[in-house]
Structure 1
Amino acid sequence: MSTPTSPQPETPEERPAAAAWQLWILMVWHPTVGMAVDPVAILALDTAPGADPAQHTVWVPLVYDEANPWRERLAEGVGPERIARWESEASACQIAPAAVPEGAVDLRHAAELVLDELLGEVIPALPPRTGA
């Protein structure tokens, strides 16, 4: 006789792991717009103890040079204090929280889904960079 199993949560929001996920859009200065609104990466964090991975970054394709300021910042490490500081800064680099997308099966997938949305909707709506 088999033992009945507990029903599995159907959505990522119902999963305990998804509650510990934080997603951030990393943006840099867009010269044509005159604001730091040009997305260059998605930073995904899992704050659950022992999370693997605890951090994952997905970079927007073809923006290597533009993303260098964020690469330098991330190389120094990521923690709640740094994220709070980045949120409060008014500089050429900005960070904005993103919602965990429905259907995300893990932290990496959540970051990829946010990147897909940026590539499909946000980035094409930005004007071309000056000189590009």
Structure 2
Amino acid sequence: MSTVKYTKDHEWIRVEGDVGTVGITDYAQGQLGDVVFVEVPEAGRTLSKGAESAVVESVKAASEVYAPVSGEVVEGNAALVDDPSLVNAAAEGEGWFYRLRLSDPGELDGLLDEAAYKDFVEGLH
């Protein structure tokens, strides 16, 4: 069973066991426009909650991606290096950025669930 949580910076994390898969939301990729470059963290890198973890560049802007929780990166999505447009095509699927092993699962409690995230996004318009 997996749990999906969201941040107010428009990242999502899908947690299965003690590993979380992280990416940006459909809303975020829609705001960015056509993604042309993605830099993902390397395996073995330790991330702190709220720290810059990846970079996504579009035709409109460059944006940092922040770690929704603390942990050690176990895999970066190499497919994004070859095909950054996966972020636009499937932001919450094949367009994931990296996976990390959570060092403090309790940090998930501070994140938004899907309903709360949808309410947050609606409030931005």
TM-score by shorter chain over 0.5: no
**TM-score with structure 2 length normalisation?**
0.29
Higher strand share: 2
**TM-score with structure 1 length normalisation?**
0.28
